[in-house]
Amino acid sequence: MNTVDQFQTPITPTWCPGCGNFGIWGALKGALSSLQIASHNVALVYGVGCHGNMRDWMHVYGVEGLHGRALPLAQGMKLVNSKLTVIAITGDGDCLGEGGNHFIHAARRNTNITVIVHNNQVYGLTTGQASPTAQKGLETKSTPTGVVDEPTNPVTLALSVGGTFAARGFAGDIAYLTELMKCAINHTGFSVVDVLQPCVTFNKAYSYEWYQKHIYKMEGDGSKTRAEALVKSLEWGEKIPLGVFYEEKRGKEIIGAEKSQKTFDYTTLLPQFR
């Protein structure tokens, strides 16, 4: 039995008390053990941000890369070892700001990895500047009079460039988030889970209470067309949908599928050069 205990490390988490990261962490451990994936077959690739601190309290093959570059690292790991369960643990600034280009192309490529976006609208580790997902009007250290830019939406973005699985969960609903993560991990191809995550220290506007009032679970998960899912993904404000927006099973052309590593005699190529 691969229980959540397999992920135990001697390090005590340093996230702020009440941080949404605790919920995401719990859901991830629950999803992996529920799927009976052993710690040595898991590679968690973290970006740099509050989310990335998880690396010290997860006993797996952990990789803390550079800010914004978790996705290319994760793809490289998966491309040469398809048996690994490779999950990129990223922040909103990390994944959609610094690493936005990688997000687009990983989705296009449909590499068989899962991306968890810790979406709290702020850069927590640098003490609270606005991230690319910050909603208009949000007052942060870098936007004292409120955010003026349009927010990015990881679900819409992934679906608009060919992502084959996109879901949204809430860090305050661990049971539901666990189920969404299981679906994402089981999906063959690029899967993204956008996790609405309260930052109790730097984002007072989007609190647990605020989200509880606005979120709802969609019915008939994953049965929509891409166009319908895209429209649905734009719903935000009074009501915010959670669940699987879209899942497409392609079953072929998945990068990171089985690849044979044969011994190759390169001298057979010499005649081309005579």
User: Does residue number 59 form part of the binding site for other proteins (CB under 8 A)?
Assistant: yes
184 binds other proteins (CB under 8 A): no
Cα 204 from Cα 202, distance rounded (Å): 6
Residue 28 CB, nearest approach to other proteins (Å): 16
Interaction with other proteins in 3-42: which residues (CB under 8 A)? Answer: 9, 11, 38-41
CB of 32 to other proteins, least distance (A): 13
C-beta of 47 vs 172, nearer to other proteins: 47
Phi/psi of residue 179, nearest 5 degrees? -65, -40
- Binding of other proteins at residue 257 (CB under 8 A)? no
DSSP per residue, the chain: ---GGGG--SPPP-SPTT-HHHHHHHHHHHHHHHTT--GGGEEEEE-SSGGGGGGGG--SEEEE--TT-HHHHHHHHHHH-TTSEEEEEEEHIIIIIITHHHHHHHHHHT-S-EEEEEE-SEETTTTSEEPTTPPTT---SS-TT---SPPP-HHHHHHHTT-SEEEEEETT-HHHHHHHHHHHHHSSS-EEEEEE---TTT-SSS-HHHHHHHEEEPSSTT-S-HHHHHHHHT--SS-EEEEEEEE----SS-TT---------GGGGGGGG-
Q: Residue 130 CB, nearest distance to other proteins (Å)? A: 23
Pairing of strands 129-130, 122-123: antiparallel
Residue whose token pair is 């601190």? 53
- Binder of other proteins out of 29, 51, 69, 168 (CB under 8 A): 69
The one among 104, 122, 158, 196 contacting other proteins by CB under 8 A? 104
**In the complex with other proteins, which residue's Cβ is closer, 39 or 207?**
39
| CB closer to other proteins out of 8 and 212 | 8
Residue 231 in the binding site for other proteins (CB under 8 A): no
- Would you give the binding string for other proteins spanning residues 75-94, x where CB under 8 A is met? xxxxxxx-xx----------
Residue of the chain from 63, 157, 158, 192 that contacts other proteins (CB under 8 A): 63
What is the nearest approach in angstroms of other proteins to the Cβ of residue 5?
A: 14
Residues 106-135 that bind other proteins (CB under 8 A): none
Distance from C-alpha of 62 to C-alpha of 45, rounded to nearest angstrom: 6
Q: Which of 48, 89, 122, 177 binds other proteins (CB under 8 A)?
A: 48
Is residue 158 a contact point for other proteins (CB under 8 A)? no
Determine, following the binding rule CB under 8 A, whether residue 162 of this chain makes contact with other proteins.
Answer: no
User: Site for other proteins (CB under 8 A): which residue of 23, 30, 62, 189?
Assistant: 62
Nearer to other proteins, 65 or 154 (CB): 65
Two structure tokens written together for 46: 């973290």
Closest CA to 51 of 123, 105, 102: 123
Q: How many CB atoms lie within 10 A of CB 18?
A: 14
Give the binding site for other proteins (CB under 8 A).
9, 11, 38-41, 43, 45, 48, 53, 55-56, 59-66, 69, 71-81, 83-84, 101-102, 104-105, 255, 259-262, 264, 266-270, 273-274
